[in-house]
Amino acid sequence: MLIDTHSHYDDAAFDEDLEQLIEELNKKNIIAVNVGATKGSALTALDFSGKYANIYAALGVHPDEVAELTDEDMQNFLKLSRNPKVVAIGEIGLDYHWDVNPRQIQKEWFVKQIKLAHEAELPICIHSRDAAQDTLDIVKAEDAGRFGGVVHCYSYGIELAKEYMKLGFHFGIGGVVTYKNAKTVKEVVDYLPIDRIVLETDCPYLAPAPHRGERNDSRNLMYVAAEIGAIKGYSPEDVIKITAENARKVYARLS
């Protein structure tokens, strides 16, 4: 069993062959968590999780998209989160790279979605880009990891990884680790105990080498597992097995 903890199969890039692809993943014993990015995609993720046995959902809205949110949406998400195939609240956080929304608004909705996760008693999936300090400050102030969580596409250094480790977080590692110039991610993977690592594609984005630039999907995680194994001294099969156990620990509703 291989578990992809972060995917976007609702993306238009999959419109043409979605059914076939999900069936192919199922045949290969691959489970994927479809993560919400917009309000609409969060609802689609939930829809997919009802339709496909091997797809689970995370409900949440990405910092680029939070301007559309209302408190009523939070109430609605809370209700929907009782569905057993909802495994987490995410992806939520701060993105100061694109700064699509004012930082104050991003922070406000990050906090509100953390509170939602706590009410739902679910772990969170954090998106944080060029916003290391503010993200950590909020995570600490809100005790955000109370029900566990994953720092998705972890891209900061070892020092910050130590902080998130202390707070009980897991680390989402994907295609980036296979890129030649990804020195920091390789160092972090070397540093992290293997029981804190979960695999993720962020597909259709971030395809690993040798498929960099192409449409990504969960099958490509074998390249990620191989690279993590090469860095840490495990076989790719062991990395797949151990990270699946980790994923089930943090996203406890995965079966």
Q: Which residues bind Ni ion (CB under 5 A)?
A: 202
Long-range Cβ pairs for the range 205-213 (8 Å, 24+): 205/8, 206/153, 206/174, 206/175, 206/176, 207/175, 208/174, 208/175, 208/177, 208/178, 208/179, 209/175, 209/178, 209/179, 209/180, 212/175, 212/178, 212/179
Shortest distance (Å) from residue 6 CB to Ni ion: 5
Give yes or no for a contact between 19 and 212, defined as CB atoms under 8 angstroms apart: no
Shortest distance (Å) from residue 22 CB to Ni ion: 18
Shortest distance (Å) from residue 97 CB to Ni ion: 14
Toward Ni ion, which CB reaches closer, 164 or 234?
A: 164
Shortest distance (Å) from residue 125 CB to Ni ion: 8
What ranges in 121-235 are assigned the alpha helix state H?
Answer: 132-141, 158-166, 183-191, 221-232
Measure the CA–CA gap between 82 and 103, rounded to whole angstroms.
30
Residue nearest to Ni ion (CB): 202
Q: Supply angle C-alpha 115, 132, 136, rounded to 5.
A: 40
Q: Is 108 helix (H, G, I), strand (E, B) or coil?
A: helix
Toward Ni ion, which CB reaches closer, 61 or 160?
A: 61
Measure the CA–CA gap between 192 and 247, rounded to whole angstroms.
15
Strand partners, 127: 93
Toward Ni ion, which CB reaches closer, 65 or 202?
A: 202
Shortest distance (Å) from residue 152 CB to Ni ion: 6
Toward Ni ion, which CB reaches closer, 59 or 231?
A: 59
Task: Give phi and psi for 100, each to the nearest 5.
Answer: -65, -40
Shortest distance (Å) from residue 235 CB to Ni ion: 28
Burial of 156 (0-12, 13-18, 19+ CB in 10 A): buried
Toward Ni ion, which CB reaches closer, 231 or 247?
A: 247
Helix axes of 71-80 and 39-51: crossing angle, nearest 10 degrees: 10
Shortest distance (Å) from residue 237 CB to Ni ion: 26
Toward Ni ion, which CB reaches closer, 10 or 202?
A: 202
Toward Ni ion, which CB reaches closer, 5 or 178?
A: 5
Measure the CA–CA gap between 34 and 88, rounded to whole angstroms.
10
